[in-house]
Amino acid sequence: MSQHKETIKHDFEPNIVAFVCNWCTYTGADLAGTSRLKYEPNVRIIRLPCTGRIDYNLLLKAFESGADGVLVSGCHPNDCHYNLGNFHARRRFTVFRQLLDFVGIDIRRIQFAWVSAAEGAKWAQLVTQVTNEVRELGPFTNYKRISELSFPYKELEPEPLEEVTA
């Protein structure tokens, strides 16, 4: 008999989006399933051919549409099905993450990992770990506020100018 595990209710359940490559991490996530490993159900996987395909616009879009955390995962260095895609991804990601840091976004919300097709256990552990970290960080509101502010069709009341005193 399987043990009944009590599910802990949290106040906040984060939305996690995972962008994964088809060859390593997607297959690794499948392996986690075939091995019946358990992980947090907060993650939504978006399957792409390669991490090299992951444009930073996709990651921004994920935040914009309500993600509290984003996970990018692909093949280990040198193991890329397309030889080099993951190296491109790594470079782009490093720079992009620094940029996010610079604009004041907590970079713990955006994480990068290598998960091979054989690492189902690593995937399960990773998802749980990222979910827990983001859960602690709480909902990601500042991006939403920025996008609300910056969208031209949503006109905001101009703030009254402060009187300048000499």
Q: Which of residues 65-94 bind other proteins (CB under 8 A)?
A: 65-67, 78-85, 88, 92
**Residue from 95, 103, 107, 118 in contact with other proteins (CB under 8 A):** 118
Could you give the 3-state DSSP secondary structure of residue 68? coil
CB of 95 vs other proteins, minimal distance in Å: 12
**Residue from 113, 124, 130, 134 in contact with other proteins (CB under 8 A):** 124
Residue 34 binds other proteins (CB under 8 A)? yes
CA distance 118 to 70: 22
| Angle subtended at Cα 21 by Cα 130 and Cα 126, rounded to the nearest 5 degrees | 20
SS3 labels along 25-61: HHHHHHHHHHCCCCCCCCEEEEEECCHHHCCHHHHHH
Which positions lie near other proteins, rule CB under 8 A?
5, 7, 15, 17, 23-24, 26-27, 29-30, 32-34, 36-39, 41, 44-50, 52-56, 58, 61-62, 65-67, 78-85, 88, 92, 116-119, 124
